[in-house]
A and B are shown apart, each in its own frame.
Chain A
Amino acid sequence: DAGVIQSPRHEVTEMGQEVTLRCKPISGHDYLFWYRQTMMRGLELLIYFNNNVPIDDSGMPEDRFSAKMPNASFSTLKIQPSEPRDSAVYFCASSTITEAFFGQGTRLTVV
């Protein structure tokens, strides 16, 4: 298995544009997490899914953020419209009960 795959690795976009981040979890993992990491706030949990169902989205900053998991092998995190303060590294992770595996992250810069 190639591990958790995220795309794109880097994204630079203009304020107001829509941004879509993608994640392919490890096959067989029941849980999928989206995190955001900044120097100021560290690693923050945005939302997580269990068996494709969103369980807790209390970490999603505001309505501009949305996440979907249409099937067990794919998830998206969308920001519309994007703002400069959304600039961060966004990680997707999938897990078993005992261990979470992270993708390499998407470094988002909103200018």
Chain B
Amino acid sequence: RKEVEQDPGPFNVPEGATVAFNCTYSNSASQSFFWYRQDCRKEPKLLMSVYSSGNEDGRFTAQLNRASQYISLLIRDSKLSDSATYLCVVNENTDKLIFGTGTRLQVFP
């Protein structure tokens, strides 16, 4: 089983839609979790950290479920500019950052 798994997509959604991605991780000792965004032919950049209590940043909401070992990212009111690949990242207790292969989102007009 892969350490971090994501549905590769693509998710094709119209502007204004709500879309959600899930990511599962295999190491129950994982300490911290993140979502990164990667635009085409660019480097990944931190979108948001994921806290146990869940956290929200504008249209973006991230949640963590330790019991089921998954994290989620919800995007409300999708914009064309949200089109990108979203990478789930898990920081294991050795401080090793493990990336999922990413979920591609395409928002259309």
Contacts and interface: CB of A to CB of B under 8 A. Distances in A.
Interface of A: 31, 33, 35, 41-43, 45, 48, 50, 55-56, 91, 93, 95, 97-105
Interface of B: 32, 34, 42-46, 49, 87, 89, 94-102
Provide the main secondary structure of the chain A interface. strand
A84 to B, nearest CB: 21
A55 B94 CA distance: 9
Contacts of A93: 97
Contact of A42 (B32, B46, B96, B99): B99
Contacts of B99: 35, 42-43, 45
- 3 closest residue pairs by CB, A with B: A42-B101, A102-B43, A43-B99
Contacts, number: 46
Nearest to A93: B97
A43 B101 contact: yes
B45 A45 contact: no
Given A55-B94, A100-B97, A43 B46 contact: no
Given A42-B102, A100-B46, A95 B94 contact: no
A48 B96 contact: yes
Nearest to B43: A102
B95 A102 contact: no
Contacts of B97: 33, 45, 48, 93, 95, 100
B100 A31 contact: no
Contacts of B94: 55-56
29 contacts: A35-B99, A42-B99, A43-B44, A43-B99, A43-B101, A43-B102, A45-B96, A45-B97, A48-B96, A50-B95, A55-B94, A55-B95, A55-B96, A56-B94, A56-B96, A91-B44, A93-B97, A95-B97, A97-B95, A98-B32, A99-B49, A100-B46, A100-B89, A100-B97, A101-B46, A102-B43, A102-B45, A104-B43, A105-B43
